[in-house]
Amino acid sequence: MTDDLFAVAKRCLDCADPAQKVALTFQAWERLLAGELAPSTGASPPEPIGEPGRPPRPRLVHPRQLPQRGLGTEAGRVALVHAVAHIEFNAINLAWDAVYRFRGMPAQFYRDWASVAHDEARHFNLLSVRLAELGHAYGDFDAHNGLWDMTVKTAHSDTARMALVPRVLEARGLDVTPGMIERLTRAGDERTVAALEIILREEVAHVAYGTHWFRWCCERDGLASRATFRALLDEHMRGKLKGPFNTQARREAGFTDEELAELEAGL
Protein backbone atom coordinates (compact mmCIF):
# COMPACT_ATOMS: atom_id res chain seq x y z
CA MET A 1 0.00 0.00 0.00
CA THR A 2 1.60 3.25 -1.15
CA ASP A 3 1.95 6.36 1.01
CA ASP A 4 2.12 8.63 -2.07
CA LEU A 5 -0.98 10.81 -2.23
CA PHE A 6 -0.58 11.36 -5.97
CA ALA A 7 -0.62 7.62 -6.66
CA VAL A 8 -3.65 7.12 -4.41
CA ALA A 9 -5.48 10.01 -6.09
CA LYS A 10 -4.78 8.45 -9.50
CA ARG A 11 -6.09 5.09 -8.32
CA CYS A 12 -9.33 6.71 -7.13
CA LEU A 13 -9.59 8.69 -10.35
CA ASP A 14 -9.08 5.65 -12.59
CA CYS A 15 -11.48 3.34 -10.74
CA ALA A 16 -14.50 2.67 -12.98
CA ASP A 17 -16.83 0.98 -10.50
CA PRO A 18 -18.87 3.59 -8.58
CA ALA A 19 -19.08 1.64 -5.32
CA GLN A 20 -15.36 0.87 -5.41
CA LYS A 21 -14.48 4.48 -6.26
CA VAL A 22 -16.47 5.63 -3.23
CA ALA A 23 -14.80 3.01 -1.00
CA LEU A 24 -11.31 3.96 -2.22
CA THR A 25 -12.12 7.63 -1.64
CA PHE A 26 -13.27 7.01 1.92
CA GLN A 27 -10.15 4.94 2.60
CA ALA A 28 -7.87 7.61 1.13
CA TRP A 29 -9.44 10.34 3.27
CA GLU A 30 -9.07 8.25 6.43
CA ARG A 31 -5.41 7.58 5.63
CA LEU A 32 -4.78 11.26 4.94
CA LEU A 33 -6.34 12.23 8.27
CA ALA A 34 -4.18 9.61 9.98
CA GLY A 35 -1.03 11.09 8.46
CA GLU A 36 -0.38 8.02 6.30
CA LEU A 37 -0.51 9.86 2.95
CA ALA A 38 1.54 12.78 1.65
CA PRO A 39 2.47 14.19 -1.76
CA SER A 40 5.68 12.55 -2.96
CA THR A 41 8.47 14.91 -3.98
CA GLY A 42 9.86 12.22 -6.28
CA ALA A 43 6.59 11.30 -8.00
CA SER A 44 6.44 11.04 -11.77
CA PRO A 45 4.80 14.01 -13.51
CA PRO A 46 1.05 13.68 -14.02
CA GLU A 47 -0.07 11.84 -17.12
CA PRO A 48 -1.93 13.84 -19.79
CA ILE A 49 -5.55 14.13 -18.86
CA GLY A 50 -7.94 11.60 -20.39
CA GLU A 51 -11.26 10.09 -19.47
CA PRO A 52 -11.68 9.21 -15.79
CA GLY A 53 -12.76 5.81 -14.59
CA ARG A 54 -16.51 5.40 -14.90
CA PRO A 55 -18.99 2.61 -15.67
CA PRO A 56 -20.35 1.89 -19.17
CA ARG A 57 -23.62 3.50 -18.14
CA PRO A 58 -24.92 6.17 -18.02
CA ARG A 59 -24.63 6.83 -21.74
CA LEU A 60 -23.13 10.29 -22.25
CA VAL A 61 -25.00 12.53 -24.70
CA HIS A 62 -25.16 16.22 -25.60
CA PRO A 63 -27.17 18.21 -23.03
CA ARG A 64 -29.77 19.05 -25.69
CA GLN A 65 -30.52 15.34 -26.07
CA LEU A 66 -31.61 15.00 -22.45
CA PRO A 67 -35.41 15.09 -22.07
CA GLN A 68 -36.95 17.83 -19.95
CA ARG A 69 -39.12 16.38 -17.21
CA GLY A 70 -41.23 18.29 -14.72
CA LEU A 71 -40.76 17.71 -11.02
CA GLY A 72 -44.50 17.26 -10.56
CA THR A 73 -44.21 13.65 -11.72
CA GLU A 74 -42.33 10.75 -10.15
CA ALA A 75 -40.51 10.18 -13.44
CA GLY A 76 -39.30 13.76 -13.36
CA ARG A 77 -38.13 13.50 -9.77
CA VAL A 78 -36.27 10.25 -10.47
CA ALA A 79 -34.56 11.85 -13.47
CA LEU A 80 -33.53 14.82 -11.31
CA VAL A 81 -32.04 12.58 -8.61
CA HIS A 82 -30.12 10.69 -11.28
CA ALA A 83 -28.84 13.92 -12.84
CA VAL A 84 -27.57 15.19 -9.49
CA ALA A 85 -26.03 11.79 -8.71
CA HIS A 86 -24.15 12.02 -12.00
CA ILE A 87 -22.87 15.48 -11.06
CA GLU A 88 -21.67 14.17 -7.71
CA PHE A 89 -19.97 11.16 -9.32
CA ASN A 90 -18.18 13.50 -11.71
CA ALA A 91 -17.28 15.76 -8.81
CA ILE A 92 -15.39 12.91 -7.12
CA ASN A 93 -13.25 12.71 -10.26
CA LEU A 94 -12.85 16.49 -10.44
CA ALA A 95 -11.51 16.66 -6.90
CA TRP A 96 -9.10 13.76 -7.31
CA ASP A 97 -7.81 15.16 -10.58
CA ALA A 98 -6.99 18.46 -8.84
CA VAL A 99 -5.03 16.50 -6.20
CA TYR A 100 -3.24 14.41 -8.81
CA ARG A 101 -2.55 16.99 -11.51
CA PHE A 102 -1.34 20.15 -9.81
CA ARG A 103 2.06 19.66 -8.24
CA GLY A 104 4.08 21.86 -5.92
CA MET A 105 1.04 23.25 -4.12
CA PRO A 106 0.80 23.79 -0.34
CA ALA A 107 -0.20 20.76 1.71
CA GLN A 108 -3.54 22.41 2.51
CA PHE A 109 -4.45 22.45 -1.18
CA TYR A 110 -4.26 18.65 -1.32
CA ARG A 111 -6.09 18.26 1.97
CA ASP A 112 -8.89 20.58 0.81
CA TRP A 113 -9.51 18.74 -2.46
CA ALA A 114 -9.22 15.31 -0.88
CA SER A 115 -11.83 16.53 1.58
CA VAL A 116 -14.04 17.57 -1.34
CA ALA A 117 -13.64 14.14 -2.94
CA HIS A 118 -14.75 12.58 0.34
CA ASP A 119 -17.80 14.85 0.55
CA GLU A 120 -18.77 14.18 -3.07
CA ALA A 121 -18.51 10.43 -2.47
CA ARG A 122 -20.89 10.75 0.48
CA HIS A 123 -23.25 12.82 -1.67
CA PHE A 124 -23.17 10.19 -4.40
CA ASN A 125 -24.03 7.52 -1.83
CA LEU A 126 -26.94 9.58 -0.52
CA LEU A 127 -28.39 9.93 -4.00
CA SER A 128 -27.73 6.29 -4.90
CA VAL A 129 -29.76 5.25 -1.87
CA ARG A 130 -32.55 7.60 -2.92
CA LEU A 131 -32.49 6.22 -6.46
CA ALA A 132 -32.80 2.69 -5.07
CA GLU A 133 -35.79 3.77 -2.98
CA LEU A 134 -37.36 5.04 -6.21
CA GLY A 135 -36.68 1.75 -8.01
CA HIS A 136 -33.68 2.86 -10.06
CA ALA A 137 -29.88 2.90 -10.06
CA TYR A 138 -27.11 5.12 -11.33
CA GLY A 139 -26.79 4.52 -15.06
CA ASP A 140 -30.50 4.07 -15.77
CA PHE A 141 -30.72 7.44 -17.54
CA ASP A 142 -28.55 9.27 -20.06
CA ALA A 143 -26.29 12.07 -18.80
CA HIS A 144 -23.93 14.72 -20.16
CA ASN A 145 -20.22 15.29 -19.66
CA GLY A 146 -20.05 19.06 -19.21
CA LEU A 147 -18.18 19.06 -15.91
CA TRP A 148 -15.44 16.78 -17.15
CA ASP A 149 -15.18 18.66 -20.46
CA MET A 150 -14.22 21.79 -18.50
CA THR A 151 -11.81 19.76 -16.39
CA VAL A 152 -10.00 18.73 -19.58
CA LYS A 153 -9.93 22.32 -20.86
CA THR A 154 -8.31 23.52 -17.63
CA ALA A 155 -5.81 20.68 -17.15
CA HIS A 156 -2.96 23.00 -18.15
CA SER A 157 -3.59 25.60 -15.44
CA ASP A 158 -4.39 25.41 -11.74
CA THR A 159 -5.57 29.04 -11.94
CA ALA A 160 -8.07 28.30 -14.71
CA ARG A 161 -9.21 25.11 -12.99
CA MET A 162 -9.93 26.85 -9.69
CA ALA A 163 -11.76 29.67 -11.46
CA LEU A 164 -13.89 27.71 -13.87
CA VAL A 165 -14.77 24.42 -12.20
CA PRO A 166 -15.60 25.33 -8.57
CA ARG A 167 -16.37 29.04 -9.08
CA VAL A 168 -18.43 28.65 -12.28
CA LEU A 169 -19.78 25.15 -12.89
CA GLU A 170 -20.08 23.95 -9.30
CA ALA A 171 -21.24 27.36 -8.12
CA ARG A 172 -24.16 26.98 -10.50
CA GLY A 173 -25.44 24.31 -8.13
CA LEU A 174 -25.65 26.94 -5.41
CA ASP A 175 -27.90 28.96 -7.70
CA VAL A 176 -30.32 26.27 -8.86
CA THR A 177 -30.60 23.91 -5.89
CA PRO A 178 -32.83 26.15 -3.72
CA GLY A 179 -35.40 26.26 -6.52
CA MET A 180 -35.29 22.48 -6.86
CA ILE A 181 -35.75 22.11 -3.12
CA GLU A 182 -38.76 24.43 -3.21
CA ARG A 183 -40.44 22.50 -6.05
CA LEU A 184 -39.70 19.12 -4.48
CA THR A 185 -41.12 20.36 -1.17
CA ARG A 186 -44.34 21.31 -2.94
CA ALA A 187 -44.39 17.83 -4.49
CA GLY A 188 -44.03 16.25 -1.03
CA ASP A 189 -40.67 14.59 -1.77
CA GLU A 190 -39.12 15.12 1.64
CA ARG A 191 -36.49 12.38 1.23
CA THR A 192 -34.95 13.99 -1.84
CA VAL A 193 -35.18 17.43 -0.23
CA ALA A 194 -33.22 16.19 2.80
CA ALA A 195 -30.42 14.92 0.56
CA LEU A 196 -30.28 18.13 -1.49
CA GLU A 197 -30.18 20.29 1.64
CA ILE A 198 -27.08 18.44 2.84
CA ILE A 199 -25.46 18.77 -0.57
CA LEU A 200 -26.25 22.48 -0.87
CA ARG A 201 -24.85 23.25 2.57
CA GLU A 202 -21.60 21.41 1.92
CA GLU A 203 -21.13 22.65 -1.65
CA VAL A 204 -20.77 26.21 -0.33
CA ALA A 205 -17.49 25.13 1.29
CA HIS A 206 -16.33 23.48 -1.94
CA VAL A 207 -16.86 26.66 -3.93
CA ALA A 208 -15.09 28.55 -1.15
CA TYR A 209 -12.06 26.30 -1.61
CA GLY A 210 -12.10 27.22 -5.27
CA THR A 211 -12.26 30.91 -4.41
CA HIS A 212 -9.39 30.65 -1.95
CA TRP A 213 -7.10 28.71 -4.23
CA PHE A 214 -7.96 30.77 -7.31
CA ARG A 215 -6.90 33.92 -5.45
CA TRP A 216 -3.83 32.15 -4.09
CA CYS A 217 -2.79 31.20 -7.64
CA CYS A 218 -3.36 34.78 -8.84
CA GLU A 219 -1.25 36.18 -5.99
CA ARG A 220 1.49 33.62 -6.71
CA ASP A 221 1.59 34.69 -10.36
CA GLY A 222 1.18 38.42 -9.79
CA LEU A 223 -2.28 38.53 -11.39
CA ALA A 224 -5.27 40.67 -10.47
CA SER A 225 -7.93 38.14 -9.49
CA ARG A 226 -11.02 40.05 -10.70
CA ALA A 227 -9.49 40.83 -14.08
CA THR A 228 -8.24 37.26 -14.43
CA PHE A 229 -11.64 35.80 -13.58
CA ARG A 230 -13.25 38.11 -16.12
CA ALA A 231 -10.72 37.12 -18.80
CA LEU A 232 -11.35 33.42 -18.15
CA LEU A 233 -15.11 33.96 -18.39
CA ASP A 234 -14.59 35.76 -21.69
CA GLU A 235 -12.45 32.91 -23.00
CA HIS A 236 -14.52 29.95 -21.85
CA MET A 237 -18.06 31.18 -21.03
CA ARG A 238 -18.64 33.84 -23.71
CA GLY A 239 -18.14 36.53 -21.12
CA LYS A 240 -21.15 36.00 -18.89
CA LEU A 241 -22.92 33.56 -16.62
CA LYS A 242 -26.61 32.83 -16.60
CA GLY A 243 -28.58 34.01 -13.58
CA PRO A 244 -30.38 34.22 -11.29
CA PHE A 245 -27.63 33.93 -8.69
CA ASN A 246 -27.80 32.75 -5.10
CA THR A 247 -25.99 35.81 -3.83
CA GLN A 248 -26.06 34.76 -0.17
CA ALA A 249 -24.48 31.36 -0.86
CA ARG A 250 -21.97 32.84 -3.31
CA ARG A 251 -21.01 35.48 -0.76
CA GLU A 252 -20.48 32.72 1.83
CA ALA A 253 -18.30 30.97 -0.79
CA GLY A 254 -16.05 34.03 -1.06
CA PHE A 255 -17.49 36.05 -3.93
CA THR A 256 -17.06 39.75 -3.24
CA ASP A 257 -19.83 42.32 -3.61
CA GLU A 258 -18.01 43.68 -6.66
CA GLU A 259 -17.90 40.26 -8.30
CA LEU A 260 -21.57 39.64 -7.56
CA ALA A 261 -22.52 43.03 -8.98
CA GLU A 262 -20.63 42.23 -12.19
CA LEU A 263 -22.32 38.85 -12.48
CA GLU A 264 -25.76 40.40 -11.96
CA ALA A 265 -25.00 43.08 -14.56
CA GLY A 266 -23.80 40.46 -17.03
CA LEU A 267 -20.44 42.20 -17.35
Mean pLDDT of 24-34: 97
Mean pLDDT of 237-246: 84
More confident residue, 266 or 224: 224
pLDDT at 267: 59
Mean pLDDT of 191-204: 97
Q: Is the pLDDT of residue 70 over 80?
A: no
Q: Is the pLDDT of residue 86 over 70?
A: yes
C-alpha–C-alpha distance, residues 4 and 132, integer Å? 36
Mean pLDDT of 175-198: 95
- DSSP reduced 3-state for 107: helix
Please, which pLDDT band fits residue 146 given cuts at 50, 70 and 90? confident
Mean pLDDT of 67-86: 88
C-alpha–C-alpha distance, residues 118 and 205, integer Å? 13
Q: Is the pLDDT of residue 257 over 90?
A: yes
Amino acid letter for position 87: I
- DSSP reduced 3-state for 16: coil
Torsion of CA 29, 50, 169, 54, to 10 degrees: -60
Mean pLDDT of 67-94: 90
| Dihedral angle sign, alpha carbons of residues 142, 86, 196, 134 | positive
Q: Which residues pair with 143 in a beta bridge?
A: 60
- Tell me how far the alpha carbon of residue 125 is from its chain's centroid: 15
HSE, side-chain direction, 13 A CA sphere, residue 139: 9
pLDDT at 15: 98
**Residue 147 near residue 90, CB atoms below 8 Å:** yes
More confident residue, 65 or 236: 236
pLDDT at 172: 95
C-alpha–C-alpha distance, residues 30 and 36, integer Å? 9
C-alpha–C-alpha distance, residues 266 and 222, integer Å? 26
Q: Is the pLDDT of residue 239 over 70?
A: no
